[in-house]
Amino acid sequence: MSKEPPSFAGLTGESMSFAGSTGESIDSVGTTAPGRPKSVGTTAPGRPLSSEVAPKECKSIQLEEVLEVLGASEVVAISGHINPDGDAIGSTLALRDLLRAMGKKVDVLLGQDHPAPELYEFLPDYEFIYASEYTGIPDLFIVVDAATTKRLGNTERLIEEAQHILVIDHHTNYECFAEYYFGDDKAPATASLIWKIIKASKIEPTLNMASYCYVGIMTDTGRFAYRSTDRSSFVDAIEMIDRGVSPSEMSQYVYESKSLAAMRLEALIIDRMHFAADEKVVYSYILPGDLSRLGLKRDDTEQLPSILRSIKGVEIAMLFRDEKKEGVRVNLRSRSKFNVGAFASQHGGGGHRGAAGLTVMKPLDEAIDYVLKHLLEDLSAF
300 binds Mn ion (CB under 5 A): no
Q: For residue 292, give every residue at least 6 positions away whose Cβ sits within 8 Å of its Cβ, in sequence order, or none.
A: none
> Is residue 86 a contact partner of residue 219, using CB atoms and an 8 Å limit?
yes
Give the interface size with Mn ion as a residue count (CB under 5 A).
4
Report the residue number, 87 or 322, with the smaller CB distance to Mn ion.
87
**CA of 4: how far to CAs of 35, 187, 279, 382, in Å?**
30, 20, 21, 8
Smallest gap from Cβ 152 to Mn ion, in A, equals 15
Angstrom distance (rounded) from CA 108 to CA 27? 29
**CA of 256: how far to CAs of 129, 208, 216, 263, 319, in Å?**
28, 21, 17, 11, 21
Closest by Cα among 367, 382, 374, 326 to 346: 374
Report the residue number, 91 or 201, with the smaller CB distance to Mn ion.
91
Angstrom distance (rounded) from CA 182 to CA 59? 9
Return the residue of 145, 300, 315, 322 that touches Mn ion, per CB under 5 A: 145
Chain length of the chain: 382
220 binds Mn ion (CB under 5 A): yes
Report the residue number, 197 or 379, with the smaller CB distance to Mn ion.
197
Smallest gap from Cβ 145 to Mn ion, in A, equals 4
> Is residue 123 a contact partner of residue 215, using CB atoms and an 8 Å limit?
yes
Using the contact rule CB under 5 A, the part of the chain among 1-9, 188-196, 315-323, 354-362 near Mn ion is: 188-196
Report how far Cα 72 is from the mean position of its chain's Cα atoms.
29
Angstrom distance (rounded) from CA 123 to CA 147? 25
Using CB atoms within 10 A of its CB, is residue 238 exposed (0-12), middle (13-18) or buried (19+)? exposed
Smallest gap from Cβ 367 to Mn ion, in A, equals 25
Report the residue number, 86 or 327, with the smaller CB distance to Mn ion.
86
Report the residue number, 16 or 119, with the smaller CB distance to Mn ion.
119
Smallest gap from Cβ 220 to Mn ion, in A, equals 5
User: Which residue of this chain has its Cβ atom nearest to Mn ion in the complex?
Assistant: 87
Residues 61-120, interacting with Mn ion (CB under 5 A)? 87
Q: Tell me, letter by letter, the H, E, C secondary structure of 183-208.
A: ECCCCCCHHHHHHHHHHHCCCCCCHH
Smallest gap from Cβ 276 to Mn ion, in A, equals 28
Using the contact rule CB under 5 A, the part of the chain among 37-45, 92-100, 184-192, 303-311 near Mn ion is: 184-192
Report the residue number, 81 or 321, with the smaller CB distance to Mn ion.
81
Using the contact rule CB under 5 A, the part of the chain among 135-143, 182-190, 269-277, 290-298 near Mn ion is: 182-190
Report the residue number, 220 or 300, with the smaller CB distance to Mn ion.
220
Backbone angles phi, psi at 318, to 5 degrees: -135, 135
Smallest gap from Cβ 50 to Mn ion, in A, equals 35
Smallest gap from Cβ 374 to Mn ion, in A, equals 25
> Is residue 313 a contact partner of residue 282, using CB atoms and an 8 Å limit?
no
Smallest gap from Cβ 82 to Mn ion, in A, equals 13
169 binds Mn ion (CB under 5 A): no
Report the residue number, 99 or 193, with the smaller CB distance to Mn ion.
193
> Is residue 280 a contact partner of residue 290, using CB atoms and an 8 Å limit?
no
Residues binding Mn ion (CB under 5 A): 87, 145, 190, 220
